[in-house]
Amino acid sequence: MIQDFVIADSLHLLELGVMKRLLTGWRDGYFGFTGKLSAFQTQCLSSAICDVKLPKEIHRKLRGLDCLAFWKGTEWRSFLLYAGIVVLKDVLDEKLYKHFLLFFTAVTICSSDMYAHMRAVAQALFEKFIEEFKTIYGEQYITSNIHNLEHVVNDVNRFGSLNTISAYPFESYLFQIKKLLRQGNNCLEQVINRMLEKQSVKKNNTNPFSKFVPNLVTRNGIVECEVQAGVFISNTSRNSWFLTRNLEIVQMVDGSIDSNNDINIIGRPVKTYSNFFEIPIKSSHLYIFMAGLSMNNKKSYGVNDVLCKFVAVPYRGKHFVFVPLLHTINVSPK
């Protein structure tokens, strides 16, 4: 029984637990003077967070630090997995930032099967994060959430990546169940009847032999390609970036369908890119890169050439940091 209860629920342990404690601690000084941000630093960080334009697959945009008390779980998740490593870079003390990178890297490794071969590294990073937490902030600030990070990799090895064992689907479906209620009487009967009706309709309208087919749609000058079920790449800025299997960072500018009904994504690859961080491991091991906007000529790519979609986070006005949208990483062979 003990092993079959999941500790590594990313929603409550990582996002609403550790990440919330760190960011609120830096803003409000919960760790004493260690890492306390000045009013100017807080303002700069808040502005940088609001400048991050998330892709359409993430339905809730990030709000500033003045709304921190009202952030939802998905906002904490977006900050931890995509925005945090960039917006904290020039604001947080270097020692604290490197410590945060331990946490970010370990969580990212555990969040996709693409990085499964590095889970032993994640375990070492979690353990180092806990040890350094005691030194940097003080042992009195160690909570059960900090301690439980030591067990994350064990749960991931046993049950699957964090994306498959989090409480997000439960929370989402609970919200859908609540919407089925029309009055305060006979709540259980209402929910059961509505769920049975929905299951009946879904069963009658579902073809068990159907499979996903990529498609290309042009509407009002926007060209959008669905490369995976629910994953869209288009020529709009926040949805245009992707990584190919040949490790080219590409911005989609157009699309077409050839005579064989194959979809072609027309894009411009960036000329040069580099690692965004070198420690605790090189960011390229996680497919995270930094690049300017110097582009090569247009090239054509097939849907199967797409390895993942990127979240493009602006950095210092002249560069972007490209972070894989984790659930879009296509681990199947070409």
CB burial class (10 A; 0-12, 13-18, 19+) of residue 159?
middle
d(CA 191, CA 188) in angstroms, rounded, equals: 5
Give kind and range of the element (H or E) at residue 135.
Answer: helix 119-137
- Joined together, the tokens standing for residue 104 give 């970010």
pLDDT at 318: 87
Supply the DSSP symbol for 326: G
Alpha helices in 79-210 (DSSP H): 84-87, 94-110, 119-137, 144-148, 152-159, 162-165, 168-179, 187-205
Report whether 152 contacts 110 (CB < 8 A).
Answer: yes
Query: What's this model's pTM, rounded to 2 decimal places?
Result: 0.90
* Sheet with 231-234, side-by-side order of all strands: 215-219, 222-228, 231-234
pLDDT at 284: 97
pLDDT at 58: 94
- Joined together, the tokens standing for residue 175 give 């919200």
d(CA 169, CA 20) in angstroms, rounded, equals: 20
d(CA 22, CA 27) in angstroms, rounded, equals: 9
d(CA 334, CA 332) in angstroms, rounded, equals: 7
pLDDT at 185: 87
Side chain identity, residue 233: I
Report whether 308 contacts 324 (CB < 8 A).
Answer: yes
* pLDDT per 10-residue tile (average), the chain, 334 residues: 80 94 94 89 96 94 95 96 96 96 98 95 97 94 94 93 84 84 87 87 64 89 93 95 96 92 94 96 97 93 95 93 94 58
Cα radius of gyration (the chain): 22
